[in-house]
Chains A and B, each alone.
Chain A
Amino acid sequence: MSARPHRVAGKRLKRIDGLGKVTGKYVYASDFALPGMLFGKILRSDEAHARIVRLDVSRALALPGVRTVLTAKDIAPIRFGTAIRDRTVFAAEVVRFRGEAIAAVAATSLEIAEAAVRAIEVEYEPLPAVFDIEEALKPGAPLVHPGWSDYQALPVFDREGNVSGRSAMAGGDVEAGFAQSYRVYEHHFTTQPVHPGYTEPRTAIASWDGNGDVSVWCNTQLPFDMKNLLAEVLDLPASKVRVVVPGIGGGFGGKLRVGVEHIAAWLARRSNRPVKVMTTSEEELTDAYPRQPTVITLKTGVSEDGLLLAREARVLLDCGAYANSGPATAAIALQIVAGPYRTPNFSYESVAIYTNKGATGSFRAPAGPMGNFAVESQIDLIADDLGIDPLELRLRNVYREGDKGPAGDVLTSVSIEDSLRRAADAIGWKDRRPGPGRGKGLACSWWLTTGGSSGVYVKINPDGTVTVVSGAVELGSGAMTGAAQILAEELGVDLTDITATDVDTNLSPYDYGAQGSRTAFSVGNACIAAAKDLRRQIAELVAPIWGVAPETIRLEDKGVTSGNNRLSLAEVAALSQRTGGGLISHGTSIQPMPVFDPTRVKNHPLPAWTSHSFHTHAVDLSVDEVTGEVSINRYVVAQDVGFAINPTYIEGQIEGGVAQGIGQALSEEIVYDGGRVSNANLTDYKMPTMMDMPRVECILIEKPSVNGPYGAKGVGEPPCIQPPAAIANAIAAATGVRIQALPITAEKIALARAQDED
Chain B
Amino acid sequence: MSFAFHRPGSLDAAIAVASEHGEAARFLAGGTDLMIQINRGRAAPKHLISLAGLGLDTIGESEGEHVIGALATLDAVVTHPAFQTGLVALTQASAVVGGRQVRNIATVGGNIVNASPAADLVPVLLALEATVDLRGPAGTRSMPLDRFLVGRGRTERRPDEILTAVRFDKPPAASATWFLKAGRRKAMEISVICVAAHLVRGGKARIAIGAAAARTVRVPAAEALAEKEGAAAFREAGRIAADAVSPIDDVRASARYRKLLVATLVERALAACADRLGKDGR
Contacts and interface: CB of A to CB of B under 8 A. Distances in A.
A touches B in complex, CB < 8 A: yes
B184 interface: yes
For chain B, what secondary structure do more than half of its interface residues adopt (helix, strand, loop), or is it mixed?
loop
A747 B185 contact: no
Interface string B1-41: 10000000000000000000000000000000000000000
A737 interface: no
Given A626-B260, A684-B252, A747-B254, A111 B186 contact: no
A688 B185 contact: yes
A683 B190 contact: yes
Given A627-B261, A627-B264, A679-B251, A746 B256 contact: no
A199 interface: no
Interface stretch (A136-144, A242-250, A328-336, A689-697): A689-697
Interface string B242-282: 00000000011110110011001100000000000000000
A750 B188 contact: no
Nearest to A663: B185
Please indicate which of the listed interface residues A627, A667, A688 has the most CB atoms of chain B within 10 Å of its own CB. A627
Nearest to A690: B187
B185 to A, nearest CB: 5
A691 B185 contact: yes
Contacts of A667: 184-185
A683 B182 CA distance: 15
A671 B250 CA distance: 11
Nearest to B180: A627
A230 B96 CA distance: 46
Contacts of B184: 666-667, 686, 745-746
Nearest to B190: A683
For chain A, what secondary structure do more than half of its interface residues adopt (helix, strand, loop), or is it mixed?
loop
Interface string A667-679: 1000101000011
B260 A689 contact: no
A523 B130 CA distance: 65
Nearest to A280: B39
Question: Range of interface residues on chain A?
Answer: 20 to 34
Contact of B253 (A111, A673, A691, A747): A747
Contacts, number: 47
A678 B251 CA distance: 7
Nearest to B98: A683
Given A629-B182, A679-B251, A747-B254, A692 B187 contact: yes
A691 B186 contact: yes
A62 interface: no
Given A678-B251, A689-B188, A751 B182 contact: no
Please indicate which of the listed interface residues B1, B184, B252 has the most CB atoms of chain A within 10 Å of its own CB. B184
Interface string A6-33: 0000000000000000000000000000
A630 to B, nearest CB: 10
A684 B186 CA distance: 14
Please indicate which of the listed interface residues A629, A678, A747 has the most CB atoms of chain B within 10 Å of its own CB. A747
Question: Range of interface residues on chain B?
Answer: 10 to 19
Interface string A631-674: 10000000000000000000000000000000000110001010
A176 interface: no
B99 to A, nearest CB: 8
Interface string B162-184: 00000000000000000000101
Contact of A750 (B1, B190, B257, B265): B257
Contacts of B185: 667, 686, 688-689, 691-692
B270 to A, nearest CB: 15
Contacts of B182: 627, 629, 746
A744 to B, nearest CB: 11
Contact of B260 (A679, A688, A754): A754
Contacts of A679: 251
Nearest to A666: B184
Nearest to B36: A683
Interface string A719-758: 0000000000000000000000000011100110010000
A267 B282 CA distance: 71
A343 to B, nearest CB: 37
A686 B182 CA distance: 14
Contacts of B187: 689-692
Contacts of A745: 184
B182 to A, nearest CB: 6
Contacts of B253: 747
B150 to A, nearest CB: 24
Contact of A751 (B1, B256, B265): B256
Contacts of B260: 626-627, 750-751, 754
A688 B182 CA distance: 15
Interface in A311-344: none
A666 to B, nearest CB: 8
Contacts of B261: 627
A121 B254 CA distance: 37
Nearest to B263: A626
Contacts of B254: 747, 751
A686 B256 CA distance: 21
Interface in A108-122: 111
23 contacts: A626-B264, A627-B182, A627-B260, A627-B261, A627-B265, A629-B182, A671-B251, A673-B251, A678-B251, A679-B251, A683-B190, A684-B251, A686-B184, A689-B185, A691-B185, A691-B187, A692-B187, A745-B184, A746-B184, A747-B254, A751-B254, A751-B256, A751-B257
Q: Which 7 A-B pairs have the closest CB atoms?
A: A691-B186, A691-B187, A747-B257, A689-B187, A626-B264, A678-B251, A679-B251
Interface of B: 1, 182, 184-188, 190, 251-254, 256-257, 260-261, 264-265
Given A626-B260, A688-B185, 19 more contacts: A666-B184, A667-B184, A667-B185, A671-B251, A673-B251, A678-B251, A684-B251, A684-B252, A686-B185, A689-B186, A689-B187, A689-B188, A690-B187, A691-B185, A691-B187, A692-B185, A745-B184, A751-B254, A754-B260
